[in-house]
């Protein structure tokens, strides 16, 4: 592709970084009072080697101590601690919609790659499904903002979330935790470590979580949003020699939780239903049968659709059936390290096998109008070989080879109102469906046909070579150069089968099974200058590129012509990292500007015979993004620390001409806001510890405020989330370093918002966030 760079607003970014510096000016007397207090040094592996956070010329936030806070439950809570980051779940319960600097995607389909990478123990997770990881047995999480293509590869144009589990301690010990809470919540977690001779260790961990739903379903007389989750795993680590170590992790997750707690956002006119058809139903050939739904001849057209909008709000669901699912996820990770002289060689091998079987109520209403039966299988394998060491006194080099292979299979069948009336169950249908003795007539539809069925599969193979070099030009000036070359191929095989058109009696025969393949080669460079002003202050400037893979949108009803190309992000950054008051205060700030090119969008095209509206993915737009990020941490006393993060984000479509409403007309959509991109976000918090003599008391508080933002790409008003703020708090008491009791409250002011999904010209449904809830945890350590 032809990349056209926009002028770099250097003056604006320089002034923005400089503006942050006066915030660090604190009287010298205050510094003298706290000479014995210091913030703990934070170590990260954001550049595939261990370094101090303050020495890394990358916009990265590390979360470690906060993970011990009982109010931090899963990956979604990262947004409380990181600027310009928003995380929510998609309709699939553990599928993540992660937005970093406004770059996001919320489609959980296995054929689409997420633009933000989640890396678990060095293994990249290639699908959004399963990215909402639980806060369990984690050592730290690093959130890298901006393209990370050089070291982390494709599909990290927004950034990367690097999750690191605890390693076996090689000593006997562990902990057991029991949690109880609202909605009859019951959690049991355990971690046990044991030594293996004097050179190895074994760790076993287990996590079982259950609770009722947080919404009432008055139609089905059940709860909605039920959780039934189980996680079992083990890690063995062994120092084979003084220069060679190995660690193997095997894990299985079984998740039978509801796939979301959906509410009905139809208004009685947006969803078609039998009540709007009239007193008779055409069945082809001029024949009709009575409509079994009573008709009011004096009612306005479509008035009978009110049944699709019954008793659904933030606390109630009108879905006639729950969104049930059965999910299994198997993870295997193998890491080996060799020291050869001053060089470290690393091998990371990873596999993920995931199976999903779900029933989804897409109408989310009290009538059996439309539901989807979906089954999928996903497998991935990755292998990374990496080397790191000093070439000489001035040059450090990280280089490696990477191989990726993944495959998915999906089958999706939709059942609509015609199916439930008996159309499609056989050749004969009753003249009067309300009369069991009614005579039948032949229906010109084959047995078993439903509204639509899709079956498809795809593969993805990629090879890459990468390198990153730190060159110490002078004592204070360092140059970082890096690049990654990727060769990628995707195949797709699919067909529409058993499709019945909206005009009853018109059958579209099974489409032919078609095969496609596309390949791309990409180079992702990075260059950065790092200047050390003094021992406590560093400034950096960087330019980086990344790409998100092209491919095929498997859930589209269009099989032929379904390919789309990669999208690209080019980012410039200026940043400072600093520590003040004898390391009692840490201030980091970044200003950035990005060109988001050939952005992949879900647009609508008309295809088929007769033509109908179909959603496809196309490279349809370009976007400019810029913003500021500020992070501050301060140790006020020996027991009290506070933190602040703030983000500002400005986004603008510069080119977006497409049909996004399904009316067959392409329009200029450059005035729209991109999804999941609040202009401003703020997070503040505090942690307090006090020695009571017999034990330690802890208090933890966090508040996050988000500006309003859109969740639907055509900015439908239903998709607007108003600005909101959420408070979370917890208190704990630890006695004898063994016994700990924690109580927590989440969403203390009961803020509610909804993320709405719209199927054009069909149905609207959405999911509210969880209300205020409380819990208690008992932990025994040994």
The DSSP-derived string for 378-404 is: EEEEEEEEEEEEESSSSEEEEEEEEEE
Please provide the DSSP assignment of 51-88 as one string. Answer: EEGGG-SS-EEEE-GGGGSTT--BGGGGGGTSTTEEEE
Instruction: Count the Cβ atoms, other than its own, within 10 Å of residue 699.
Output: 15
Compute the average pLDDT of residues 302-318.
Answer: 64
* Residue 1 falls inside a structural domain: no
| pLDDT of amino acid 25 | 33
**Least confident interval from 126-130, 281-285, 524-528:** 281-285
Inter-residue contact 658 to 601 (CB < 8 Å)? yes
Mean residue pLDDT of the chain comes to 85
- Per-residue pLDDT at 409 exceeds 80: yes
Residues 287 and 219 in one domain: no
Looking at the structure of the chain, the number of domains it has is 2
Structural contact between residues 120 and 96, judged by C-beta atoms closer than 8 angstroms: no
Same domain? 531 vs 642: yes
pLDDT at 61 over 90: yes
Local confidence band at 27 (pLDDT 50, 70, 90 cut-offs): very low
Looking at the structure, tell me whether residues 331 and 306 fall in a common domain: no
Mean of the pLDDT values across residues 766-774? 93
Q: What is the pLDDT of residue 264?
A: 80
pLDDT of residue 288: 62
Band the pLDDT of 611: cuts 50, 70, 90. Answer: low
More confident residue, 429 or 456: 456
The pLDDT score that the predictor gives to residue 322 is 79
pLDDT of the residue at 442: 54
CATH label of the domain that carries residue 547:
2.40.170.20
Per-residue pLDDT at 373: 85
CB neighbours of residue 85 within 10 Å: 25
- One domain for residues 238 and 283: no
The answer, yes or no, to whether residue 313 has pLDDT greater than 70, is: yes
Closest CA to 683 of 633, 637, 720: 633
State mean pLDDT over 474-493: 97
Helical spans, DSSP H, in 86-240: 149-152
Q: Are residues 322 and 385 in the same domain?
A: yes
Look at residue 500 and tell me if it is in a domain.
yes
Confidence category of residue 437, pLDDT binned at 50, 70, 90: confident
pLDDT-wise least confident of 132-136, 255-259, 299-303 = 299-303
For 225-309, list the strands marked E by DSSP. Answer: 227-241, 244-255, 262-264, 280-284, 287-290
Highest-pLDDT range among 205-219, 424-438, 499-513: 205-219
Q: Give per-residue pLDDT as tens, 179-201.
A: 999 999 999 999 999 999 899 99
> What is the biggest distance separating any 2 CA atoms in the chain, rounded to whole angstroms?
96
pLDDT higher than 50, residue 303? no
The domain boundary residue, chosen from 287, 310, 333: 310
Q: Which of 189-203, 491-505, 643-657 has the lowest mean pLDDT?
A: 491-505
Would you state the pLDDT for residue 33? 44
User: When comparing pLDDT for 462 and 455, which is higher?
Assistant: 462
Nearest to 649 by CA among 154, 157, 145: 145
SS3 10: helix
Kindly state whether residues 100 and 162 are assigned to the same domain: yes
User: 456 in a domain, yes or no?
Assistant: yes
Q: Are residues 114 and 176 in the same domain?
A: yes
Higher pLDDT, 7 or 99: 99
Region 752-775 average pLDDT = 85
- Rounded to whole angstroms, the Cα distance separating 362 from 370 reads 6
Name the pLDDT band for 772 (thresholds 50, 70, 90).
very high
Mean pLDDT of 616-637: 96
Is pLDDT larger for residue 606 or for residue 667?
667
> Between these two residues, 731 and 134, which has the higher pLDDT value?
731
Least confident of 127-131, 246-250, 626-630: 127-131
Distance of CA 35 to the CA centre of its chain: 42
Reading the block at residue 204, the tokens are 């076993």
The CA radius of gyration of the chain, in Å to the nearest whole number, is 28
Does the pLDDT at position 203 exceed 50? yes
At residue 406, the 3 state secondary structure works out as strand
Q: In the structure encoding, which two tokens stand for residue 641, read together?
A: 């620390």
- How far is the C-alpha of 535 from the C-alpha of 728, rounded, in Å? 36
Q: Could you list the residue range(s) of the whole structural domain that residue 294 is in? A: 277-310
Q: What is the pLDDT of residue 291?
A: 54
The arithmetic mean of pLDDT across residues 70-78, rounded, is 88
Encode pLDDT of 568-586 as tens digits: 999 999 999 999 999 999 9
> Does 219 fall in a domain?
yes
> Does pLDDT of 32 surpass 50?
no
State whether 592 and 514 are in the same domain: yes
Does residue 496 surpass a pLDDT of 80? no
Residue 271 lies in a domain: no
pLDDT at 93: 57
pTM: 0.88
| Domain co-membership, 64 together with 46 | yes
Which has more confidence, 458 or 3?
458
- Residue 4 belongs to some domain of the structure: no
User: Where residue 631 falls among pLDDT bands split at 50, 70, 90?
Assistant: very high
More confident residue, 767 or 168: 168
Same domain, 304 and 330: no
Is pLDDT at 443 greater than 80 in this prediction?
no
Residues of the chain with pLDDT > 70, as a percent, come to 81
* DSSP annotation string for 163-192: EEEPPP-SSSEEEEEEEEETTTEEEEEEEE
- Tell me the average pLDDT across 1-21: 40
Check pLDDT > 90 for residue 396: yes
Q: Do 287 and 205 have their domain in common?
A: no
pLDDT for 751 beyond 90: yes
Judge if 283 and 385 occupy the same domain: no
Mean pLDDT of the region 441-458: 61
Higher pLDDT, residue 452 or 637: 637
Examine the fold and report which residue of 290, 310, 330 is the final residue of a domain before the chain moves on: 310
Q: What share of the chain in percent tops pLDDT 90?
A: 61
Q: Residue 36: which of 534, 579, 687, 635 has the closest Cα?
A: 635
Question: Is the pLDDT at 650 greater than 50, yes or no?
Answer: yes
Q: Is residue 270 part of a domain?
A: no
| pLDDT exceeds 80 at position 561 | no
Cis peptide before 610 (omega within 30 of 0): yes
Residue 442 within any structural domain of the chain: yes
pLDDT tens digits, one per residue of 150-166: 999 999 999 999 999 99
Rounded to 5 degrees, φ, ψ at 733 are: -130, 125
Query: Positive or negative CA dihedral for 107, 113, 115, 117?
Result: positive
Whether the pLDDT of residue 548 is over 90: the answer is yes
């Amino acid at each position: 592709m032809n990349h056209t760079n926009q002028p770099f607003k250097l003056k604006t970014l320089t002034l923005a970084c400089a503006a942050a510096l006066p915030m660090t000016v604190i009287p010298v007397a205050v510094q003298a009072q706290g000479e014995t207090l210091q913030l703990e040094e934070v170590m990260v592996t954001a550049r595939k080697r261990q370094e101090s956070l303050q020495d890394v010329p990358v916009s990265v936030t590390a979360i470690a101590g906060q993970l011990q806070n009982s109010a931090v439950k899963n990956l979604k809570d990262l947004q409380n601690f990181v600027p310009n980051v928003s995380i929510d779940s998609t309709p699939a319960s553990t599928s993540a919609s992660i937005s970093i600097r406004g770059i996001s995607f919320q489609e959980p389909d296995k054929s689409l790659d997420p633009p933000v990478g989640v890396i678990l123990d060095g293994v990249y997770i290639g699908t959004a499904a399963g990215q909402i990881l639980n806060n369990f047995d984690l050592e730290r999480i690093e959130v890298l903002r901006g393209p990370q293509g050089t070291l982390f590869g494709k599909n990290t144009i927004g950034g990367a979330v690097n999750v690191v589990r605890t390693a076996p301690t090689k000593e006997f010990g562990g902990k057991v935790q029991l949690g109880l809470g609202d909605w009859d919540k019951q959690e049991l977690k355990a971690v046990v470590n044991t030594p293996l001779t004097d050179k190895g260790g074994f760790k076993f961990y287990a996590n079982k979580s259950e609770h009722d739903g947080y919404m009432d379903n008055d139609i089905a007389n059940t709860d909605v949003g039920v959780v039934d989750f189980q996680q079992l795993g083990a890690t063995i680590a062994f120092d084979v020699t003084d220069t060679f170590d190995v660690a193997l992790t095997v894990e299985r997750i079984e998740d039978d939780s509801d796939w979301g707690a959906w509410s009905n956002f139809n208004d009685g006119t947006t969803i078609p239903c039998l009540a709007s058809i009239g007193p008779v139903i055409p069945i082809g050939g001029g024949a009709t049968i009575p409509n079994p739904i009573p008709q009011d001849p004096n009612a306005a057209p479509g008035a009978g659709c009110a049944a699709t909008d019954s008793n659904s709000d933030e606390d109630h669901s009108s879905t006639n059936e729950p969104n049930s699912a059965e999910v299994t996820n198997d993870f295997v990770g193998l890491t080996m390290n060799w020291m050869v002289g001053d060089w470290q060689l690393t091998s990371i091998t990873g596999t993920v096998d995931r199976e999903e079987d779900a029933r989804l109520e897409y109408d989310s209403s009290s009538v059996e109008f439309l539901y989807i039966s979906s089954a999928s299988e996903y497998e991935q394998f990755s292998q990374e070989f990496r080397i790191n060491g000093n070439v000489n006194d001035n040059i450090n080099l990280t280089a490696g080879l990477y191989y990726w292979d993944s495959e998915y299979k999906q089958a999706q069948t939709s059942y609509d109102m015609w199916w439930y009336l008996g159309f499609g169950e056989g050749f004969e249908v009753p003249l009067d469906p309300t009369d069991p003795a009614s005579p039948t007539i032949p229906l010109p539809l084959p047995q078993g046909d439903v509204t639509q069925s899709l079956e498809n599969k795809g593969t993805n193979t990629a090879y890459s070579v990468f390198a990153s070099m730190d060159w110490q030009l002078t004592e204070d000036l360092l140059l970082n150069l890096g690049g990654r070359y990727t060769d990628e191929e995707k195949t797709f095989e699919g067909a529409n089968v058993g499709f019945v058109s909206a005009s009853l009696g018109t059958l579209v025969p099974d489409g032919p099974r078609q095969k496609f393949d596309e390949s791309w080669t990409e180079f992702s460079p990075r260059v950065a200058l790092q200047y050390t002003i003094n021992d406590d202050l560093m400034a950096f400037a960087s330019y980086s590129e990344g790409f998100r893979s092209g491919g095929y949108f498997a859930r589209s009803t269009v099989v032929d012509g379904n390919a789309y190309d990669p999208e690209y992000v080019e980012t410039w950054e200026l940043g400072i990292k600093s520590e003040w008051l004898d390391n009692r205060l840490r201030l980091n700030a970044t200003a950035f500007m990005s060109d988001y090119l050939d952005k992949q969008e879900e647009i609508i095209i008309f295809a088929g015979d007769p033509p109908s509206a179909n959603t496809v993915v196309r490279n349809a737009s370009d976007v400019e993004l810029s913003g500021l990020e500020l992070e501050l941490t301060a140790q006020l006393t020996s027991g009290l620390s506070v933190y602040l993060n703030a983000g500002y984000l400005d986004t603008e479509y510069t080119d977006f001409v497409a049909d996004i409403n399904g009316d067959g007309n392409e329009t200029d959509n450059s005035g729209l806001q991109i999804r999941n991109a609040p202009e401003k976000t703020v997070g503040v918090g505090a942690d307090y510890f006090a020695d009571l003599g017999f034990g330690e008391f802890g208090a933890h508080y966090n508040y996050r405020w988000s500006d309003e933002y859109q969740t639907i790409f055509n900015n439908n008003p239903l998709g607007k989330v108003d600005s909101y703020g959420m408070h979370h708090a917890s208190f704990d008491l630890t006695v004898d370093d063994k016994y700990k009791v924690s109580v927590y409250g989440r969403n203390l002011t009961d803020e509610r918002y909804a993320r709405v999904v719209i199927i054009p010209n069909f149905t609207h449904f959405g999911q509210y966030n969880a209300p205020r809830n409380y819990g208690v945890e008992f932990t025994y350590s040994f």
